[in-house]
Amino acid sequence: MEIPGVTKSIVEHLRSQIITGQLKAGERLNESVLSNQLEISRAPLREAFRVLEEDQLVVSNPRKGCYVADLTQQDFIELYQSREMIEIYAIDLLEEMRLNELNDVEAALKATIGLSIPTENESADEKLNYLLKFADFHNSIVKASQNRQIIHFYRKIGFHLARYQFMYAYKPGLTSDSQKEHTKILNLIRSNKYDQARIYLRHHIKSFVNLMKVRITS
Amino acid sequence: MEIPGVTKSIVEHLRSQIITGQLKAGERLNESVLSNQLEISRAPLREAFRVLEEDQLVVSNPRKGCYVADLTQQDFIELYQSREMIEIYAIDLLEEMRLNELNDVEAALKATIGLSIPTENESADEKLNYLLKFADFHNSIVKASQNRQIIHFYRKIGFHLARYQFMYAYKPGLTSDSQKEHTKILNLIRSNKYDQARIYLRHHIKSFVNLMKVRITS
DNA sequence: GTCTTGTAGTTTGTCGACAATCGACCTTAT
DNA sequence: ATAAGGTCGATTGTCGACAAACTACAAGAC
């Protein structure tokens, strides 16, 4: 036998392939073909399919096979509603706990300073990594809420969000603004201005959505 | 071969066994034993494990096996925070959409009228069914929001909620109050008093949590 | 020409078997 | 007596093979 935990690594591999678009929406996932490519048997591959299906990154028709999940504009809207719901509620919880240290949030914010935008011809993994660094700011706020259920759900929708952003948002235009807005949100929470933080966060998310909408439709 | 979709039915079987406590928290899930009992091979069983693991109803230690997930009081608190977050936001969405018909909500509410409480010696499935009928009221509100991501997440945490309620809440005491409170919430939404609906819903959930806390600790 | 039916090839769903690892028990040395 | 180490059974992780179902294509009936 080789390394244990093949299923887990297959899940991560396929997930990043889907997010980065190397596996396209609607694409068929043939078990034999994939298991040959990845040089594993079909059993762990099928286990990976079940995980990805549960996360709604693939859909499976019984006796027909698995396909990469579609990517509709409606999904995009619903995902950002979910994101807004979670992040706003995370701040509610921070307020309730009187928690405003947020060292991890600051660390995530600092990690984005001076980050240069990947060019078109850089590898998919490079681009994805860049996106995830920015997403980490939002992740760290949700993590600070210390609600594991919500963190779990946010992580899941994070994969879908990354998928959209990978298609439309890894190009210049947003990052510098994001940086400033992230800083402002962090400062508002730190000075216990939770109401303002929520309002500003909502604004931050909605303006991003509007920007993305333009890109999607154009 | 037998019926297709064995994995799916295994998932549902194990899930209801876990919710009803026939499989207890922390219990070991031996693959050979279970596959013999259920008269299936280990392959679809392992696929089912991956699904349940993703839903956090089982935890898996690599090379050690799967166990039924624990059931801590902290989980209980976090689940009810999630529930509050989702249902309140669902009403936000209803308000945004100016949606106040809610025929499905009314249907779910009516389905609980005159429902008698299962006695101790009734079957686990009977008890579970009773609980799910009451939960359907809350489900139908979330469904009315038409956000599939949120509906999906709510369904997931619904299984965990059912698990707690099965342990502590299928006995008399809550139902008649719940009925009244559900009716009030529906009426508030219908008359476009969304703010009041949110406040009352929050109160409804929190009072239930407090009642459950007493039962858990006593 | 179109619709039906049959057939061959492909693909999924399931199974039993093997290899690697883990855990419990027993032995042995200090 | 306790701790270290080795051995054996039990269990997971993986694989290849078989059977059922589906798809596509072709031949034939109307």
Within 7 Å of a protein beta carbon, the nucleotides of strand D are: 11-17, 19-23
The residues of chain B scoring below 50 in pLDDT are 1-3
% chain A with pLDDT above 70: 94
Q: Is the CB of A120 under 7 A from strand D?
A: no
> Is residue B2 helix, strand or coil?
coil
Q: Is the CB of A37 under 7 A from strand D?
A: no
Please give the pLDDT value at position B169: 64
Buried b (16+ CB within 10 A) or exposed e, B35-48: beebebeebbbbbb
A133-A139-A144-A149 Cα dihedral, nearest 10 degrees: -150
Unique residue bearing structure tokens 């920007």? A211
Note the CA–C1' distance, A39 to D18, in angstroms. 21
Taking every pair of Cα atoms in chain B, the longest distance, rounded to a whole number of angstroms, is: 57
- CA–CA gap between residue A165 and residue A21 (Å, rounded): 11
- Looking at the partner chain, which of A7, A54, A148 has a beta carbon nearest the beta carbon of B55? A54
Q: Is the CB of B63 under 7 A from strand C?
A: yes
- CA–CA gap between residue B16 and residue B128 (Å, rounded): 8
And the tokens for B92? 């936000």
Please give the pLDDT value at position A2: 41
> Is residue B18 helix, strand or coil?
helix
> Is residue A66 helix, strand or coil?
strand
Q: How many CB atoms lie within 10 A of CB B180?
A: 10
Please give the pLDDT value at position A192: 96
Residues B165 and B175: beta-carbon distance below 8 Å: no
Note the CA–C1' distance, A46 to C17, in angstroms. 19
The residues of chain A scoring below 70 in pLDDT are 1-4, 169-176, 218
- CA–CA gap between residue B146 and residue A74 (Å, rounded): 10
> Is residue B61 helix, strand or coil?
strand
- Looking at the partner chain, which of B50, B63, B82 has a beta carbon nearest the beta carbon of A149? B82
Q: Between the CA of residue B55 and those of A112, A214, B121, B157, what are the distances in Å?
A: 32, 35, 30, 8
Q: Among A85, A87, A81, which residue's Cα sits nearest to residue A189? A: A87
Tell me what percent of chain A is helix, strand and coil, each rounded to the nearest 5.
70, 5, 25
Read off the pTM. Answer: 0.93
And the tokens for A164? 């959209």
Q: Among B44, B57, B62, B45, which residue's Cα sits nearest to residue B18? A: B57
Q: Which residues contact B102 (CB under 8 A, 6 or more apart)?
A: B94, B140, B141, B144, B186, B189, B190
Note the CA–C1' distance, A70 to D21, in angstroms. 26
Residues A153 and A86: beta-carbon distance below 8 Å: yes
Unique residue bearing structure tokens 């194990």? B14
Tell me A207's DSSP state: H
Q: Among A176, A168, A171, A154, which residue's Cα sits nearest to residue A209? A: A168
Residues B88 and B202: beta-carbon distance below 8 Å: yes
Q: Is the CB of B4 under 7 A from strand C?
A: yes
Three-state SS letters, B82-147: HHHHHHHHHHHHHHHHCCCCCHHHHHHHHCCCCCCCCCCCCCHHHHHHHHHHHHHHHHHHHHHCCC
Alpha carbon of B121: minimum distance to chain A alpha carbons (Å):
33
Tell me what percent of chain B is helix, strand and coil, each rounded to the nearest 5.
70, 5, 25
Tell me B118's DSSP state: P
Report the DSSP pairing between strands B28-29 and B65-68.
Answer: antiparallel
